[in-house]
């Protein structure tokens, strides 16, 4: 893995990912600014202007990220892996929907997994991915669900907009307003085989506590059950609906049209919101920690 400044310098200033995230500004007003570039982040995240202090923070941040005893590299790998598999799952979801809607393409529906099952696993494994990255960054055991749930109420900036994107793009849009009930019901009926056929789970399974697949399914269910209260309150507090999210996206992304589940699949296929905001969150954590330690 390359140094964290390389990833920070590669972050885009425009594009579908940025448009999608900016479409959520009304959900978390003033919380997220698209700061890109390691040098820009140093000033923005520390509030410092002294070149000497900024250099010390930079050196310390780079050293912390490079240290294999710290969890920053593993957290970044998780954020990147989520988006990598998302692109593939988005294509699978689009194929399934085309097969369901057009008789000439009916064979696609038979060749692709049930879309609701796919979206349920995608959403819940992403929640576990966020939990796991959180534990790595904060030096906690991987099964620290209680610590994660307690911290959710304090999430802000990049971390908050990422959770807002997860709730809206991976919950509300593809699964509808009753997505929490749907996911809960689906998880209760899942077997280990449901997970073993899912790309997101297979990409991240080595990071998920629980031992074997059945134990990991139990951990995923436990995590979702613990986080669903926060998610439900977040949706209610901000008045989130598939319709207002869809309209907000249309206002930010040119040419976006179609049914909501198709739009959700397109977001999966064409955005890197996990890796983008994840890189920003890690840089913020590294820099604020380094400033406190120098």
Our separate counts of H helices and E strands in the chain read: 17, 0
> What's the pLDDT score for residue 117?
85
Please tell me the total number of residues recorded for the chain in this structure: 294
- Yes or no: say if 64 and 290 are a contact pair by the CB < 8 Å rule: yes
Cβ 16 vs Cβ 270: under 8 Å: yes
Q: What is the pLDDT along the chain (294 residues), one digit of tens a residue?
A: 899 999 999 999 999 899 999 999 999 999 999 999 999 999 999 999 999 999 999 999 999 999 999 999 999 999 999 988 765 554 454 444 444 443 443 433 443 444 788 889 889 999 999 999 999 999 988 789 999 999 999 999 999 999 999 999 999 988 999 999 999 999 999 999 989 888 888 989 999 999 999 999 999 999 999 999 999 999 999 999 999 999 998 888 776 666 666 677 778 778 899 999 999 999 999 999 999 998
Joined together, the tokens standing for residue 113 give 């997994």
Query: Would you say 65 and 4 are in contact if contact means Cβ atoms under 8 Å apart?
Result: yes
Residue 266: φ, ψ to 5°: -65, -40
What separation in angstroms does the CA of 39 have from each of 33, 55, 155, 247? 15, 10, 24, 35
Q: How far is CA 263 from CA 22, 25, 113, 202, in A?
A: 16, 19, 18, 25
Closest CA to 262 of 19, 85, 97: 97
């Amino acid at each position: 893995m390359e140094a964290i400044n390389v990833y920070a310098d590669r972050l885009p200033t425009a594009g579908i990912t940025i448009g999608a995230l900016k479409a959520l500004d009304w959900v978390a007003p003033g919380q997220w600014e698209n700061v890109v570039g390691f040098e820009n982040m140093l000033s923005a995240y520390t509030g410092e202007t002294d070149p000497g202090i900024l250099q010390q923070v930079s050196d310390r941040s780079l050293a912390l990220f490079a240290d294999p005893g710290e969890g920053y590299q593993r957290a970044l790998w998780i954020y990147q892996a989520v988006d990598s598999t998302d692109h593939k799952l988005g294509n699978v979801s689009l194929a399934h929907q085309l097969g369901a809607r057009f008789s000439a393409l009916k064979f696609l529906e038979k060749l692709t997994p049930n879309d609701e099952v796919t979206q349920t696993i995608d959403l819940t494994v992403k929640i576990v991915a966020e939990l796991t990255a959180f534990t790595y960054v904060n030096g906690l055991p991987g099964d620290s669900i209680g610590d994660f749930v307690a911290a959710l109420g304090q999430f802000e900036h990049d971390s908050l907009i990422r959770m807002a994107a997860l709730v809206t793009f991976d919950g509300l849009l593809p699964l509808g307003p009753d997505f929490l009930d749907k996911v809960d019901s689906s998880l209760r009926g899942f077997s280990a085989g449901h997970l073993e056929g899912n790309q997101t789970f297979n990409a991240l399974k080595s990071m998920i506590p629980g031992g074997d697949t059945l134990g990991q399914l139990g951990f995923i269910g436990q995590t979702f059950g613990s986080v669903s209260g926060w998610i439900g309150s977040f949706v209610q507090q901000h008045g989130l609906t598939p319709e207002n999210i869809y309209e907000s996206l249309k206002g930010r992304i040119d040419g976006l049209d179609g049914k909501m589940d198709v739009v959700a699949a397109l977001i999966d296929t064409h955005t890197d919101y996990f890796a983008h905001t994840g890189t920003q969150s890690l840089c913020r954590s590294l820099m604020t920690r380094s400033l406190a330690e120098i």
